[in-house]
Amino acid sequence: MKLFELADLRPRESLRFPLGRFEGFAVRDASGGIRAYLNVCPHRAQPVDIGDGRLWLTSGEIECQAHGARFDPATGACTGGPCLGRGLTRLGIEERDGAVWLLEPLQYR
């Protein structure tokens, strides 16, 4: 399943995409690698990325806009705030033919 075109994701920005009955979002980590996550916060299941451009903190973390849970963009691990050690759900992806593709069906929990 094709998620988005590579050229549409710039450093220090994010990109949301449809994912069945859910939504995903993608970022580039500090090394330029693309990471994709389910756009559902482990705190209260609200969207982490609401698309207003405020996802990134100056520390290099990403922050849920609902209540301030912070995550490592490279791993999705909780780095502070109300996520209390629970990280983001990472999606298996690959870059191919100028686009990003979902590697495996999403395992709903």
Query: Of 66, 74, 99, 106, which one interacts with ligand FES (CB under 6 A)?
Result: 66
CB of 22 to ligand FES, least distance (A): 14
Size of the site for ligand FES (CB under 6 A): 10
Does 69 engage in binding with ligand FES (CB under 6 A)?
yes
Kindly identify the residues of this chain, within the stretch 16-35, that bind ligand FES according to CB under 6 A. none
Candidate segments 4-12, 15-23, 67-75, 93-101, binder of ligand FES by CB under 6 A: 67-75
Long-range contacts of 51-57 (CB under 8 A, 24+ apart): 51/14, 51/16, 53/13, 55/14, 55/25, 55/27, 56/12, 56/13, 56/14, 56/27
User: Where does residue 50 fall: left (phi above 0), alpha (psi -120 to 50 degrees), or beta otherwise?
Assistant: alpha
Residues at the site binding ligand FES, with contacts judged by CB under 6 A? 41, 43-44, 46, 64, 66-69, 82
